[in-house]
Structure 1
């Protein structure tokens, strides 16, 4: 970008958008023809297109011309600081600084920043970086220009929160990522009960300053959703922090916080959705002896969330996530919920990633590859688990090099993820890398699980017969006993 467009204001979004459109144009062939080369870029395999059919080669040539034309036009038209309202702008919200002097209050300041991310994400003309990405980069870089470069955004929102008793002092500022200068700032000092009004004011001002175009539906949905009860809101933010620790004890405390939020406001849809995920994870991680009861309650709260707020993306995500789990496995229902979540929030990268898992499990690896590619394009600092659907999709499509790269990246971040180890063993089998497979089998068995084809296939969450056969064949080639 720096070498081609030194003096113009063009973000990586232009390239990402073109790649996304080319994938759609190529359809099912996209996974094989247009490949992501880790840490380098994209590779278009024209020779493969020629070998497959002449008409496809024509499509590829048109796609190449299209991307060159669009990128060239972007370079000519996008002069510094002269963006039109119709252009998708990119923004990241950084964690708000906790000025309360009490470390235990960080959940509240971070929670306010995350709520702003949620609301901005629902605007189609904004590309909003996920909380995980923006918070992670902010911890490692202090210069706003560096943070903006690493996140690939044009703007940053920064702020601070001082909470003392029933009073609040909140500041928020919009920063130009190119030069680090403030474009807009606002502050509030007063009663904690007025925090909702301040949130709405900040959101409206950001939309105004960025000249963001809103559809009628977005205007109707825009704003602070959920509760007006201060204590319910506080318990909701506290519960989200506790749930993120992923331990049995914190899971129980998170349930208590969300339950209290619901007791204070029974119609708090987001709290119902969060409680559903907490209960589902309790069953998934083996933190309860009564799995059936946990799942039944999770379903009850997820369905309640959707009923209370049909236009809340997170409600549909919570229900879709539950339906996608192996102990329920309603893939059609999960797909519908994830599609609705993405429709309501085009920036909901976790919904893209979960939807990709469902597509692969349902025998639609090509679609899954396109979906996870969209998630990775929208999230510059993806969590480790995004590489699971990426690895699975490439494995089932027979691209073992790409599968190995994704699964290796995943295991570098989480070495004990059993399903990734199983698929990577099968990948090495197909690649003929028996020494690597043997080493990985020892790591797998060191986790206390047997490495036999029968045992492995009992826990593989894939029912599509050709995909199951691909795993079995790879395991046999790797030398795994029956």
Structure 2
């Protein structure tokens, strides 16, 4: 148990036992109410172990009668303060209590000042993982292939300027996109390869986790208008370099680098290319170095998922399009940025923003009908609740997958559309394909698994998927809604009651009418299944 005057590190944040306060990695005070700080103090004293709900209530409110809602509000406030990693740090154990996943024997720091916050290794619920593994690794239409497998790791930024990392990472991601166009290669997604590379530098371990035979790694040194880039192909089993080369020149030479690396990898791996693949591989999205730079910068900015970064991303993509009006990928990215602005409520001009998003997505497809990402962007937009063109979305996702069989995000989005359209069996096959191709999937893939299984009546499998999803991101309201309905069908009313408190703590009213206004399921029997589950869980109309 920590001493009273110690400082507990919690995923890059620092909790001081005396006085009770939470600070970020730069030493700035994180505002929390006194009750929430007290809850965090009790949890940190018993870090790594389960603290019961009753114990927390007695310690925080010893002489005051309060309801369970007060505790849930504090937990929600703490999670919001801890940010995106909160789901792996502060876990809910239904009907029992909470656990702060910071080992009690971890060294405690004397000062909260550290370099940039370190990535936290996601720890997952063992039962959920076993259940999902059995489900997802044996899909109804199993993915079997003898094609070669490869992962591209983030390129090291050797520029001496951390702000240049968008460029080095962007080059690696562009190589992933290029390699994914080849049918005879299984290419691991960016999210998977970048995530594993953050945890270890051992190529053999990375290859084992990603289930690939080969890795590509590289580095970028960018100084002024000059570039020096290295790239290497590594054998995943032995860790030896199979091929390596370096390139130096001006920024405009980056396109020659991309084409050379791609052709060399195809040659060394003896990959067969169809006539169509060979033609597509030779096509670059733009030949304007400044447009390309703005495109890579915009992609990084969009990934921060804040209103201000969203606006900056729009500016970057707009500049890329100004430099090269026919840059299809930039049009597609701008469409997604505008769509997300509506989805997250970052605009007061919804009608015009949607119209602009549609215009840029359709422009991307018209400019480059063989670009998988263009079809994905349009399909994603058509699948949103403010348009809800399921037939159009399905056609676009199918075309994106046809052009790029490794496009796992397209599988995941398509699965959600299939569920909404009343095709849960098809959706389960589709998302299983995504899991088979992406061994380290992002958390949101589990929503498709939960939805499909729920509407097939596989409630235990649905619960396992939704629990995994909420362990990674406990504030996802759509997952909470569906899990409440799942518990209703399973007759687990205590678990449902607990989740209702969690849901209401996020500021959302837990009534059937309010919830069903937010459920993007149009198939009548599927909507009735959700309503029935909510009623069985005891929610008021």
TM-score, normalized by length of structure 1?
Answer: 0.83
Q: 1:106 maps to what in 2?
A: 165
Deviations 1:213-256, CA, capped at 9 Å, x for gaps: 11111111113521000000000000000000000000000000
Q: Which structure is higher in RCO with an 8 Å CA cutoff and minimum separation 6?
A: 2
Name the CA distance, whole Å, in 2 between partners of 1:42 and 1:458: 31
Partners in 1 of 2:449 and 2:464 — Cα distance?
10
Whether 2:464 is the aligned partner of 1:405: answer: yes
Q: 1:38 aligns with which of 121, 127, 132?
A: 132
| Counterpart contact for 1:121–1:345, Cα < 8 Å | yes
Q: Which of 235, 243, 258 in structure 2 is aligned with 1:199? A: 258
2:448 corresponds to: 389
Q: Distance in 1 between matches of 2:302 and 2:224?
A: 25
In structure 1, list runs of 5 or more residues that go unmatched. 1-34, 46-59, 72-85
The answer on whether the counterparts of 1:108 and 1:234 sit within 8 Å (CA) in structure 2 is yes
Aligned: 1:332 with 2:391: yes
Q: In the alignment, does 2:318 pair up with 1:259?
A: yes
Partners of 1:226 and 1:146 in 2: CA distance: 34
Kindly indicate whether the alpha-carbon contact (under 8 Å) linking 1:226 and 1:270 is maintained by their aligned counterparts in 2.
yes
Task: Identify the residue that residue 52 of structure 1 maps to in structure 2.
Answer: none
SS of the equivalent of 1:37 reads helix
Structure whose residues are more often helix by fraction: 1
- Quote the Cα distance in structure 2 between the aligned partners of 1:220 and 1:237: 24
Contact 1:313 / 1:340 at 8 angstroms: preserved in 2?
Answer: yes
Q: Which residue of 2 aligns with 1:357?
A: 416
Secondary structure at the aligned position of 1:481 is classed as coil
Asked if the contact 2:131/2:464 (under 8 Å) is kept, the reply is no
Of 140, 146, 151 in structure 2, the residue corresponding to residue 92 of structure 1 is 151
> C-alpha deviations, 1:141-178, integer Å up to 9, x for none?
11000010111100000000000111100000000000
Are residue 280 (structure 1) and residue 339 (structure 2) matched? yes
Q: Distance in 1 between matches of 2:514 and 2:219?
A: 52
Name the CA distance, whole Å, in 1 between partners of 2:136 and 2:308.
44
Tell me how far apart the structure 2 counterparts of residues 195 and 336 of structure 1 sit (CA, whole Å).
34
User: Which sections of structure 2, spanning at least 5 residues, go unmatched?
Assistant: 1-128
Return the TM-score normalized by structure 2. Answer: 0.74
Q: Report the counterpart of residue 433 of structure 1 in structure 2.
A: 492
Return structure 1 stretches of 4+ with deviation > 6 angstroms.
41-45
Q: Secondary structure in 1 aligned to 2:151?
A: strand
Structure-2 separation of matches of 1:259 and 1:469: 44
For these two proteins, the number of residue pairs brought into alignment is: 413
CA RMSD of aligned residues (A): 1.9
Report the CA distance shift for 1:164/1:224 in structure 2 as closer, same or farther (over 3 A).
farther
Q: Which of 200, 208, 215 does residue 274 from structure 2 map onto?
A: 215
Contact kept? 1:453, 1:472, Cα under 8 Å: yes
- Check whether the contact 2:294–2:320 (CA below 8 A) recurs between aligned residues: yes
Closer, same or farther: CA 259–42 of 1 in aligned 2, 3 Å: closer
